Amino acid sequence: MMSATQTLHPADLSSDDIATWRAIAAADPAFASPLLGPDFARAVGAVRPDARVAIWRQDGEAVGFLPHHLKTGGLARPIGAPLSDYHALVSRESMAAGEALAQAGLGAFRFTGLIDPQSLFDGAVRADRTAYVIELDQGADVYLEALRAQSPKRFKNYRRLQSKIARELGELTLSAPDQDRAAFDQLIAWKREQLQRTGAHDFLAPAWTRQLMDTLFANTEGDFRGLMITLRVEGRVVAGHFGVRLGDVYHPWIAATDPELGAYSVGQLFLLQVIAAMPDLGLRTYDLGPGHDHYKAPYALTHRQIGDGTALAAGAAGWRSRLGEGAWRLAGAGCGPIALRVRRRFETISDVELTLGGRVRGLANAVASKARRTGVEIEG
């Protein structure tokens, strides 16, 4: 049982707490992600005044950290969502999630990418999701050979595409790290076009997400920093990733390609070039995260299971959240994955849009997008 809890803004973390948090995360390979340490929490805190960190203490020493945003009804959501593909209660002590949330004054913690090596959230996970990871244990050549052995026809097609590009457009080159601001703006523009085209919510529209990415792009020093990698043809950017790295672990957020070159599969060729370049970049782990299975699965020999669910606080602290969670379960009865997708879309809009107007526009766009894709005409 913890002797005390504290909740504060990430900017108010003491140097001792920051050091302790880093040490706890470094001690467990499951927490080896740029998204699970104090640096990411502080980066989000710099652009979100509503960012918070719950700290559990024992004998005055911090033993657990949960960065979050507090919603109505005492509901905690992962800090930086939807950019926080992974989240966790980073702790060196075993504590039941329900009791821990109640001690911190939280009604519930709703998660979609839970990392839980200590099984603190047993019983709260309702669904598992797969995240895709490129892990270089024996070097890039060995890894690429394993991919070739796994799918020789695919790699034969990649060689054909590379030859076709060289013949028709020019030689492919990888720029890493790429600090070209124009290239960064191009990747963002392509990604926003893709989100609008596919009907996904534009998480890059709010000022705080762009400010966060702008700040990280400009930060080129230290273990925690932004990283952009681009694929070019004769100097022209045709594909790229942008995200955040911590030491030798990289987690891209933005994956974008030139829509005019879709027939060349430049996004696929980009990943092959990236794997070969990882050692020179000082990267051991290229964490592609969950989603877009068709794009990521062929390159990831390591899979990570992450949890989707809601942990409710023990006792009276969780009663309001129990009602809300019960409503979602009732609405999703018999709907399975469909209900889960609807909930994630609703939560993404709520997480990323900080104003009522933004949320209303997001929901209206979601309805209109769904109507377009199903061929339903909306009157008015």
Structure tokens belonging to residue 123 = 């019983």
Does the fold of domain 137-283 match that of domain 1-128+307-319?
Answer: yes
For residue 327, the model assigns a pLDDT of: 46
Q: Specify whether the CB–CB gap between 320 and 101 falls below 8 A.
A: no
CA 6 – CA 8 distance, rounded (Å): 7
What is the identity of the amino acid at 147? L
Q: Residue 318, Cβ neighbours under 10 Å: how many? A: 23
Quickly name the fold that domain 1-128+307-319 has: Aminopeptidase (3.40.630)
Residue 331 has a CB neighbour count (10 Å cut-off) of 11
pLDDT number for residue 331: 47
> What's the sign of the alpha-carbon dihedral 354, 358, 363, 366?
negative
Distances (CA, A) of 288 to 16, 250, 296: 31, 9, 7
CA–CA distance, 347 with 283 (Å, rounded to integer): 32
10 Å Cβ neighbour count for 262?
A: 10
Q: Which two tokens stand for residue 353?
A: 């849009």
The beta strand positions in the chain, using DSSP E, are: 4-8, 51-58, 61-70, 75-78, 90-91, 108-114, 125-135, 172-175, 224-233, 236-246, 249-257, 285-290, 302-312
pLDDT along the chain (380 residues), means of 10: 82 97 96 97 97 94 96 92 95 91 94 95 92 95 95 91 93 95 97 90 93 95 96 96 98 96 92 96 97 92 95 73 50 53 72 71 64 44
Residue 354: per-residue pLDDT: 75
Domain boundaries, the chain: 1-128+307-319, 137-283, 334-380
Nearest CA to 69 out of 359, 310, 354 is that of 354
- State residue 376's pLDDT score: 39
**Quick one: CATH architecture of 137-283?**
3-Layer(aba) Sandwich (3.40)
Identify the residue whose tokens are 């996004």.
267
What confidence score (pLDDT) does residue 333 get? 47
* Cis bond upstream, residue 177 (ω within 30): yes
Q: What integer pLDDT is reported at residue 347 of this predicted model?
A: 79
